[in-house]
Amino acid sequence: MRKFEVVREDAIKENAIPTKMPKRATKSSAGYDIYSPIETTIMPHSMNMIWTNIKAKFNSDEVLLLCVTSGMGKHGIMVANTIGVIDADYYGNISNDGNLGFRLYNFSDEPYEIKVGDKIGQGIFMKYLTVDDEEEIEEVRVGGFGSTVKK
């Protein structure tokens, strides 16, 4: 089952309850538009972290890719690591309950203003494959954003 939910109360950042849940703009849209719960300005050649205060639940053989919209790209805005890869076990993790965050980078020479309810990116669910002869993995996620990098 795939769905979006508001994170638990203690995982909400900046006391900002989401005003819009992710949704597709058209019948054939691959991506779910994701909206900002805060107002912020990303200065030129700088980055801001925007927590959506939303989490996504999906099947264990799927991934949620977080990308900017084409309109944001026209203004010089990109996801700082170029694409966000959200694993199924990020949902409900102990440190942030699976709060989806966009670290946006402004590589233009103009400030980029974001208002509450503006699109800050899109999420695309995809199936993925693993190798047939993979050793069994017993590691369980315990952390949130960037937690698997620390190992």
What was the pLDDT predicted at 46? 98
Q: Which residues pair with 56 in a beta bridge?
A: 4
pLDDT, position 139: 74
pLDDT number for residue 146: 58
- Supply the DSSP symbol for 147: G
The pLDDT, as a whole number, for residue 73 is 92
Q: Quick check: helix, strand or coil at residue 97?
A: coil
C-alpha 96/C-alpha 55 separation (Å) is 9
Average pLDDT by stretches of 10, the chain with 151 residues: 96 95 97 98 98 98 96 94 94 95 97 97 96 81 56 50
This prediction has a pTM of 0.88
**pLDDT of the residue at 54:** 98
Sheet holding 101-106, edge to edge: 46-51, 101-106, 77-79
Tokens of 93: 């993790």
Please report the pLDDT score of residue 136 as a whole number.
Answer: 82
Dist CA 33 CA 66 (whole Å): 10
Q: Tell me which residue of 39, 49, 55 sits closest to 96, measured CA to CA.
A: 55
Which domains, from first to last, does the chain contain? 3-128 (2.70.40.10)
Burial of 53 (0-12, 13-18, 19+ CB in 10 A): buried
Burial (CB < 10 A; 0-12, 13-18, 19+), residue 120, is buried
